[in-house]
Amino acid sequence: MLSEAELERSLAAAGLQAPVRFEEVTGSTNATALELAEGGAPEWTLVAAGHQTRGRGRLGRTWVDHPGEALMFSFVLRPPRLDPEHAGLIGLLAGWAMATAIRDVAGVEVLCKWPNDLLLGDAKVCGILVESVIAGDRIRHIAVGLGVNLTRPDEVPDAAGIGSVEEGDLLATFLSRFREGYERLPAGVVEGWSAMSATLGRRVEVRRLLAEPIVGTAVRVDDRGALIVQTLLDRVTVTSGEVHHLREV
């Protein structure tokens, strides 16, 4: 089980120092991180919880967890050199860093699904939520939240768990990997994510709000983190949407 002392140790292992907050039960770690960021909290401020009652995912979805059976945390970023156009790289970097950390700590090979999920086979083991606050032509701050299933939540279809691990070790390894990539932004993110992608090379259907679905083959990710899909007619650049991997026929 995490604690504030464990969060401090995880930051220190990654060569970082910042305020931490741990709560046994909270609404949403990302909501707390955003609130702290608005109040001036420094970069790398780290928030974690044993259980979320209002965990949030992308596109308004909820995140379901069982107390003590998932690693859930959020942290604050204030990227000084990243322009808003490249903010999508943060989610890809977080996915690559956690996939690498799970492999190194749990010995489990997971892959990245565009834009912000990690898969074990076809089942989801991790969701990532990146929320940016932009003022003019600069990013004021970003809250990056991750939820990693240690055990499979039975009531959630197509979910899986990575197994029992020391949460502090997994968190520390993630923070180390993420920091390595963050300091090089924007270089290297697309290459690292692409090497661990479950999406590239697959036939996909991208569902978007108030627009027709896009069906084709995911061929690459561009330097902004957008997904390039080859349809029957042309190549389409997708900056947001829900990706479904299609079975090959």
Q: Is the pLDDT of residue 233 over 50?
A: yes
The pLDDT, as a whole number, for residue 89 is: 97
Contact 223, 232 (CB under 8 A): no
Tell me: the pLDDT tens digits for 5-22?
A: 999 999 999 999 999 999
The rounded distance, in Å, linking the Cα atoms of 18 and 179 is: 14
For 194, the enclosing helix (H) or strand (E) is: helix 189-195
Q: Phi/psi at 172 (nearest 5 deg)? A: -60, -40
Domain positions in the chain = 4-195, 203-245
CB 181 within 8 A of CB 188: yes
Predicted TM-score (pTM) of the model is 0.93
In the chain the first and final C-alpha atoms are separated, in Å, by: 45
Residue 61: what pLDDT?
Answer: 53
Instruction: Read off the pLDDT of residues 49-101 as tens digits, 9 standing for 90 and up.
Output: 998 886 554 444 555 666 678 999 999 999 988 999 999 999 999 999 999 99
Q: Is pLDDT of 155 > 90? A: no
Measured torsion, CA atoms of residues 220, 221, 227, 233, in degrees rounded to the nearest 10: -40
Query: CATH top-level class for 203-245?
Result: mainly beta
Query: How far is residue 201 from each of residues 57, 127, 128, 181, measured CA to CA in Å?
Result: 25, 21, 22, 24
Q: What is the pLDDT of residue 64?
A: 61
Cα(42)–Cα(107) distance, rounded to whole angstroms? 33
Q: What is the pLDDT of residue 53?
A: 84
What is the per-residue pLDDT for 62? 57
Express each pLDDT in 97-117 by its tens digit: 999 999 999 999 999 999 999
Q: Kindly state the tokens that stand for 66.
A: 């069982």
Strands 111-113 and 70-77 turn out to be: unpaired
β strands within 7-103, DSSP E: 20-26, 46-52, 70-77
d(CA 180, CA 243): 28
Name the more confident of 45 and 156: 45
How far is it, in rounded angstroms, from Cα 177 to Cα 162? 18
Q: Which of helix, strand or coil describes residue 156?
A: coil
Second-level CATH architecture of 4-195: 2-Layer Sandwich (3.30)
Mean pLDDT of 117-129: 95
Whole-number pLDDT of residue 93: 98
Phi, psi of 55 (to 5 degrees): -60, 140
DSSP 8-state class, residue 67 = T
**Using CA atoms, how far apart are residues 92 and 222, in angstroms rounded to an integer?**
11
Could you give the CA distance from residue 113 to residue 200 in angstroms, rounded to a whole number? Answer: 9
CB 227 within 8 A of CB 244: no
User: pLDDT for 168-225, tens place per residue?
Assistant: 999 999 999 999 999 999 999 999 999 999 999 999 999 988 889 999 999 999 999 9
Q: Choose among 64, 61, 91, 82: nearest CA to 199.
A: 91
Question: pLDDT band at 163, cuts 50/70/90?
Answer: very high
- Give the residue, 128 or 81, on which the prediction is more confident: 128
pLDDT in tens, 25-42: 999 999 999 999 999 999
Residue 245 has pLDDT above 50, yes or no: yes
